[in-house]
Amino acid sequence: MQAAETTAAPPAEIRALVPADLAASLRAGWHDLTRAPAYGLFFSAVYVAGGWLLWWALTTAGQVWWTIPVTLGFPLLGPFIAVGFYEISRRLEAGQPLDWPGVLGVILRQKDRQIPPLAAVIVVFFLFWNFLAHMIFALFMGLQVMTNISTSYQAFLTPNGLAMIAMGSVVGAVFSALLFSMTVVALPMLLDREVDFVTAMLTSLGVVARNPGVMLGWGLLIAVLLFVAMLPAFLGLFLVLPLLGHASWHLYRRALG
């Protein structure tokens, strides 16, 4: 039975998680990655190509400064690609065959389910964060002597520049934490069950609320791995994205009864 054809599920039971669940989910994610590496490389390539395109567009336009908030916000779009990883893990878990038409077909059929509304919420978060990044820059740097920050970064070492970086980091962390809490369980749940996106987001928030320490550790691990993976021209994402995507599916399965 394919994910798009699942029947309505009873209310999910939120389970208590321990740090060992994170380790077990990562091991299971690595196992899925090694069993279906071609799929992981394919979905990762779409995301990496998007990062390259975004970087090229911004640097060609001479707006290097804006690559900072945009690149930090870019991982927020990761759940779109994660749907593919969830479907791979779901099929491997259920003992179903892996084939490109079937996997891609399930992903395409999500447009008629509840993932698009949740995707719209993610896009709104992404756009609003970029708007706030502009506002924070104008607030702290708007009265500075005009400097081409594309070629001179001394402005960031001034008191205003350091304050801007601190404020942007705090605001970005709050946005990321809230978005993470609403989607960490919601996206795999929407692929797996027939529930509306509001119920999925509330369930995801409930999982984080019941397991704050474990989920905080999971969120920090995701943030660190994604940051490190993006440093070598986004190439590290070819490994990190499928690992985290598959592991997120298994953590979802452990979190909900």
What 43-47 contacts at long range (C-beta under 8 Å, 24+ apart), as own/partner pairs, is 43/81, 43/84, 43/85, 43/241, 43/242, 43/245, 44/81, 44/237, 44/238, 44/239, 44/241, 44/242, 45/238, 46/81, 47/77, 47/78, 47/81, 47/237, 47/241
Token digits for 6? 């699942």
More confident residue, 6 or 239: 239
Give residue 115's pLDDT.
84
d(CA 232, CA 148): 26
More confident residue, 217 or 110: 217
Task: Give Cα 175 distance to the centre of its chain.
Answer: 12
Give residue 245's pLDDT.
94
Closest CA to 72 of 216, 186, 175, 188: 175
In this structure, are residues 133 and 67 in contact, taking their beta carbons and an 8 Å threshold? no
Q: Is the pLDDT of residue 145 over 70?
A: no
Q: Write out pLDDT tens, residues 76-96.
A: 556 667 889 999 999 999 999
d(CA 71, CA 230): 9
Crossing angle of the two packed helices 19-35 and 237-255, in degrees rounded to 10: 130
d(CA 168, CA 233): 23
d(CA 180, CA 222): 10
Confidence of residue 6 (pLDDT cuts 50, 70, 90): very low
129 half-sphere exposure, CB direction, 13 A CA radius: 29
